[in-house]
Amino acid sequence: MGKRSVIWVVIIALVFFSIPVDAKVVWKFGHLANEQHIWHRTALKFAELVKQKTNGEIEIAIYPNEQLGKEIENLNMIQAGTAELTISGESMQNWAPKAALIAAPYAFRSIDHMVKALTGEIGQEIAKEITEKIGVIPIIYHIRAPRNLTSNKPVYKPEDVKGLRLRLPNVPLFVEAWKAVGAIPVVMAFSEVFTALQQGVIDAQENPYDLIYSASFYEVQKYVNETEHVIGWVWTVLGKKQFESLPKEQQKAVLEAAQEAQKYADSLFYQEIPPIKQKLIEKGMTINSNVDKPAFQKIMSQAVEKVLKPEQADLYRRIQEVK
């Protein structure tokens, strides 16, 4: 065998042995909730279903507690192709304006009203814009319990909020709504909130009961004031390019897994969220139900309507018309 032939044999051997026999895809899924939260447990269920339905060809590595990065960072990573999945909601309005309505203050009358809008044409319209402008596909929604204000003093009316240093996520509508009632908004990542409350950097924060409990805010806050100022949802989103790079059979398997995980997420929400209020009482928090919600609603709704763009305002009105 000539020298040139030997070289070609070596090259062919190297190429052949470098091809993995059991090639598999590993997706990264980062989110902000902790390991006990229903979002994380739904993520685990989804990962299990995807692995099962693809015969192990797709595995999902899950990173809770912002281990992979903060919410916006995770979305940026998906766009860059260095991650595949995250959980996000109204923060996506930074790219897709209609996503602001996922959690606009006092947009939805109840959870039933919100679910009807979400699973109908309005939800489809918001999801379409998110996919077009961010490059992620909403595949599982997570119903959120109403957002409530926590503090170390009771809050009964808007005047009680004046001068309160209030942590908020990076959501412009939240900032404008709370400014209007006199709070001092402090935009901060969720993972920093506990320490900020503990050290007195901020006075208060607002979140649904489940996140108040799972983040142990009962250790640093005395009151839950039932403002119920936002009813909304978040989505598990998957990178569009990453999804479209899969063979059709794997795409089908991923979507089937998402449908099954959706049922699991809903069952967890309705089983586990209602008892959390009592758990917070047992941890020493006082639930203040004597909040003048109409007064908060009047001020916040006016503030929201002033800053909505025309396309958002139209969607806001159509949401309120859903029966």
C-alpha span between 279 and 170 (Å, rounded) = 29
C-alpha span between 251 and 243 (Å, rounded) = 7
Count Cβ atoms below 10 Å from residue 182 Cβ, excluding itself. 15
Question: How is residue 29 written in tokens?
Answer: 């899924």
pLDDT of residue 14: 45
C-alpha span between 9 and 12 (Å, rounded) = 5
Report DSSP state, residue 36: T
C-alpha span between 193 and 179 (Å, rounded) = 19
Query: Taking 90 as the threshold, does the pLDDT of residue 135 lie above it?
Result: yes
Query: Taking 80 as the threshold, does the pLDDT of residue 16 lie above it?
Result: no
Q: Side chain identity at 113, as an amino acid letter?
A: H
C-alpha span between 302 and 307 (Å, rounded) = 9
C-alpha span between 214 and 135 (Å, rounded) = 30
Whether 172 contacts 100, CB under 8 Å: yes
- The burial of 215, by beta-carbon neighbours within 10 Å (0-12 exposed, 13-18 middle, 19 or more buried), is given as buried
pTM value > 0.75: yes
Whether 85 contacts 29, CB under 8 Å: yes
pLDDT of residue 23: 73
Confidence bin at 198 (pLDDT 50/70/90): very high
Percent of the chain with pLDDT over 70: 93
Report DSSP state, residue 91: G
Whether 261 contacts 46, CB under 8 Å: yes
pLDDT per residue over 246-256, tens digit each? 999 999 999 99
Q: Which residues contact 315 (CB under 8 A, 6 or more apart)?
A: 98, 101, 122, 125, 126
For the beta sheet containing 147-151, the strands, ordered from the edge strand earlier in sequence to the opposite edge, are 184-187, 165-168, 204-208, 147-151, 223-230, 286-288
C-alpha span between 274 and 277 (Å, rounded) = 6
C-alpha span between 276 and 298 (Å, rounded) = 29
Question: How many alpha carbons fall within 13 Å on the CB side of residue 279?
Answer: 13
Question: How many alpha carbons fall within 13 Å on the CB side of residue 63?
Answer: 16
Q: What are phi and psi of 66, to 5 degrees?
A: 60, 30
Confidence bin at 171 (pLDDT 50/70/90): confident
Confidence bin at 2 (pLDDT 50/70/90): low
pLDDT of residue 202: 98
251-281 b/e (C-beta count within 10 Å ≥ 16 → b): eebbeebbebbbebbbebbeeebeebbeebe
CA 276 to chain centre: 19
Which domains are assigned to the chain?
Answer: 23-143+233-272 (3.40.190.170), 147-231+276-321 (3.40.190.170)
Candidates 138, 101, 119; CA nearest to 307 is 101
pLDDT per residue over 68-99, tens digit each? 999 999 999 999 999 999 999 988 998 999 99
pLDDT of residue 172: 85
C-alpha span between 6 and 163 (Å, rounded) = 80
Candidates 243, 272, 312, 254; CA nearest to 105 is 312
